[in-house]
Amino acid sequence: MKVRLLTYTPHPIKAVFTAARTCYSPSTPTEIWSADAPKERMHSLIDKVIGAGHQSVLEHISLTFSIEGISRSCSHQLVRHRIASFSQQSQRHVKVKEGEWVLPPSIETNHSAWEIFQSTLKGIQGSYMRLIEMGVHPEDARYLLPNATWTHLVMTMNLRELYTVCEIRLCTRAQWEIRGVFEAIKEELTKVEDLKGFATYLQPICFHLGYCPEPKSCGLLPVKGSPTIS
């Protein structure tokens, strides 16, 4: 898996600050934008607004990622997030190459499982190629292809939706591969000076709630209303 931030809204802190101030200020957005408030003051207002649950101002920040070499199981889950834009490599139009598949860690570390996995995938790839040689169109031959098959996609998501999606996908209960995608996304934001403050907002939901909403906790935080030792 490879995740890269390709491009994003420039001046993200000023954009969020301008949006937040516009709601409560007699000044116009261009006045607020041009006033160039000090970064600390902008961050302090944004923290207050987000802390009170008003995440809508984060929608003004758009982030475009390249997500490469994930499985089709993972991409099927990923595209369920509806407030986002996806351009994904098509299995109808692009032929799949041997060896381009995702290996689950639980299989990688289990030698006999690994042997079954690899030989089955090689068998599938052989049958897939034979069908195509026989004249079957790739869009039909692909019905044989496994979930493990690599796919690549460009994903654009605004920062508010990313905040919400990370609440679910950074949970330790999330499926390991999609959790890895959002950990890599958070890591990408951390590398950018203007985005690293926002990266700290990307947390599993229990961090935001102060408790685990599921019936059983992973141990990170107690479930809602559980007795606490103090």
Catalytic residues: 169
Interaction residues for a copy of itself, span 163-202 (CB under 8 A): 175
Each residue 137-156 as x (binds a copy of itself by CB under 8 A) or -, in order, gives x-xx-xxxxxxx---xxx-x
Q: Minimum CB separation from a copy of itself for residue 46, in Å? A: 12
Q: Which of 13, 42, 70, 102 lies at the binding interface for a copy of itself (CB under 8 A)?
A: 102
The structure tokens listed for 87 are 């351009």
Contact call for residues 139 and 128 (beta carbons, < 8 A) = no
Contact call for residues 42 and 33 (beta carbons, < 8 A) = no
Q: Tokens 């390249």 identify what position?
A: 66
Cα angle: 166, vertex 168, 169; to 5 degrees? 65
Q: Which of 70, 117, 169, 198 lies at the binding interface for a copy of itself (CB under 8 A)?
A: 117
Q: Tokens 């090689």 identify what position?
A: 122
Contact flag: residue 94 with a copy of itself (CB under 8 A) = yes
Contact call for residues 88 and 153 (beta carbons, < 8 A) = yes
Q: Which of 47, 99, 113, 191 lies at the binding interface for a copy of itself (CB under 8 A)?
A: 113
Instruction: Choose one: 39-47, 69-77, 181-189, 190-198; the region binding a copy of itself (CB under 8 A).
Output: 69-77
CA–CA dist 111, 176 (Å, integer): 20
Q: Which of 68, 183, 221, 222 lies at the binding interface for a copy of itself (CB under 8 A)?
A: 68
Of residues 37 and 107, the one with the C-beta less far from a copy of itself: 107
Q: Which of 194, 158, 198 is nearest to 62 (CA)?
A: 158
Q: Minimum CB separation from a copy of itself for residue 202, in Å? A: 18
Interaction residues for a copy of itself, span 1-40 (CB under 8 A): 2, 4, 6-11, 15, 18-20, 22-26, 28-30, 33
Q: Minimum CB separation from a copy of itself for residue 186, in Å? A: 19
Torsion, Cα of 145, 151, 155, 160 (10° steps)? 70
- DSSP label of 212: B
